[in-house]
Every structure is written in structure tokens, then in C-alpha cells.
Amino acid sequence: MLSNFFRAIIIYIFVLLVMRLMGKREIGQLQPFELAISIMIADLASIPMSDVGIPILNGLIPILGLLVMHLIISVLNMKSLKFREIICGKPSILIYRGRIDEKILKKERFTINELEERLRSNNIFNIGDVEYAILETSGQITVIPKAEKRNVVVKDFNLEPEYEGISYDLVIDGVIMKENLRKLGKDEKWLEKQVAKFKIKSKDALVVTIDGEGQFFCQAKERKNKNV
């Protein structure tokens, strides 16, 4: 029993490292070859984890082999357009200039109901509002609404928005994010002065952030009731 416990931990850490080396993608954005490798890794990991009689290396070595295969395919995928088309396929235009392409719809085995469902997930509730709908190789659908149905943006008013920058976490659960302070060219003394304006100390803050305009957000941790 204890052996199963430790084997599971070792395999979990190994699989986690392999998945990290494979890169950052959401499950819905995996290419077909990435999804296939992910499923095979899960299957291979479960065998030595459940059967103590099987050497743990019998599971780790094939997983390592799949990682190497993944890296090779990824390199070829970046280098060769033809190889990319063979392995990943090409995007398909389901709606072109406001008209549904029935041939492409049948080829991709998409029903009208499925198309409408995907459009709703893109906040499009009327199929007549769509100029283009593109089925990406990952299975996601990119929707371009008709010009009159698009959201208004600042450019429409001939305005030039100011650069906003990004927000930085300065304190998370009482822990100072020193790397972010370094990026801002600030130190902990500066941080304590800023946090003091909210009548707390950094160690008592749940979160402290600063945005590109220098505006702070600070929230203190909830105090535990000592009488409980």
C-alpha cells in the first residue's frame, strides 16, 4: 500500500514535469497530435501506478519517449508549413461574407445547431450578425461580426487612448513580491509607505496591486475572531 502511494507521487511529479515541458495550452486549444500524446501519457502513467508488479521505469521511459516525439513534431510543425497542414490541418471558413458554406459544414461534420451553439459561446445570438466564422485547427471557432454589429471601440470616436500598462501584484497573502518591486524600480520601504496609507502593514494585506497609472488596490486580511 505504501509502495503504491510513493509510486503515485513519483509518477505524478514526472508527468507534471513532462506536461510543463510540452508548453502552456488550454485543453480546448490543443492540436490533435498534442491531445493524442496527452491521452497516451495519462494511460501509460496509470499502469505502473496501479500495478506494483510492473517496474516504475516501464511507465516513465515510454512517457519520456512521447515527450521526445512531441518536441520533434513541434519543431517540424514550426519549420514546415506542409508538415503543419498534414499534422494539424487548416482552418475552415464555415461562414463566408454572411453566408453559411454548406459544403465545408458537411465536410467538418458540423450541424446548424452545433454552429449556433458555438456562436452563442462567442456572444453571437443571431447567425445573421456574422460576417465570418472560422473553425480553427484547435476546434475553436473565431467569429467576426458584421461591421454594424461590432462593439464600439475608442478608435471609432477618433480618440487616442493613453497607454495603460499592466498591473503588478505587490503583496499576495502577506508575502511581498520582490521581483515585481524590482521591475518597478522600487524597494520594500517604498511599499510599506504606500500600504501604510491604507492603515495596514504589508504582512497584514491579502492583496496589494498597482496598475499602469499608479493606482493602488489594497485589501487587508480578515481578522480571525479570538473568541472562537
Note the pLDDT tens digit of each residue in 212-221.
888 999 999 8
Fold of the CATH domain 92-149: CRO Repressor (3.30.240)
Fold of the CATH domain 168-220: CRO Repressor (3.30.240)
**Average pLDDT of the chain, as a whole number:** 83
3-class DSSP state for residue 149? helix
Cα(48)–Cα(60) distance, rounded to whole angstroms?
9
- Is residue 78 within 8 A of residue 29, CB to CB? The reply is no
> Is a pLDDT exceeding 80 seen at residue 206?
yes
Nearest to 127 by CA among 115, 141, 136, 135: 115
Domains 92-149 and 168-220 share a fold: yes
Note the pLDDT tens digit of each residue in 57-104.
887 888 888 888 888 888 888 888 788 878 778 889 999 999 999 999
| C-alpha cell read off for 197 | 496609507
Cα(218)–Cα(195) distance, rounded to whole angstroms?
7
| C-alpha cell read off for 224 | 480571525
Domains in the chain: boundaries: 2-86, 92-149, 168-220
pTM over 0.95: no
